[in-house]
Amino acid sequence: MLINELAKRTGVTVHTIRFYERYGLIRGQRNPDVTSNNYLHYDDECVARLELILDAKSAGFTLQEIGEIIDAWYKDTYTKREKRQILERKIQALDDKIKELRQMKKIIKDCLEEIAS
């Protein structure tokens, strides 16, 4: 499929797909039978990768972390233990962020109480 169809299937803009390509998260292939254009073609693996990227982004992963996840799952260069460590590090980072946000919320509540009194 061409990039426009990939965008329609995944809900990701063409601009964003090209950005992910430059970042190395997905890769289109040139059709060797067609020499009249430079169009890239995308397969179902690209669809799956884009879905993984969207899911990971919504879970709070950075693009660098998403690249690491893609390497771990698609290139199969990581052991199960290493894959678990990647996910456990993210869980710890999220726990730390939640703690930080709770502290910020408490500070704001304290300020509200001071203003009310």
- 109 contact partners, CB below 8 Å, separation of at least 6: none
Q: Where are the domains of the chain?
A: 1-61, 78-117
| Two tokens, residue 46 | 């690209």
Block residue for tokens 């919504």: 58
Name the CATH topology of 1-61. Answer: Multidrug-efflux Transporter Regulator; Chain: A; Domain 2 (1.10.1660)
Task: Quote the percentage of the chain above a pLDDT of 90.
Answer: 66
What's the pLDDT at 117?
A: 81
- State the average pLDDT over residues 55-64: 91
> Could you read off the pLDDT of 61-72 as tens digits, one per residue?
999 999 988 888
90 near 60, Cβ under 8 Å? yes
Q: 46 Cβ partners below 8 Å, 6+ apart?
A: 6, 26, 27, 28
pTM (2 decimals)?
0.74
Give residue 32's pLDDT band: very low, low, confident or very high (50, 70, 90): confident
50 pLDDT above the threshold of 80: yes
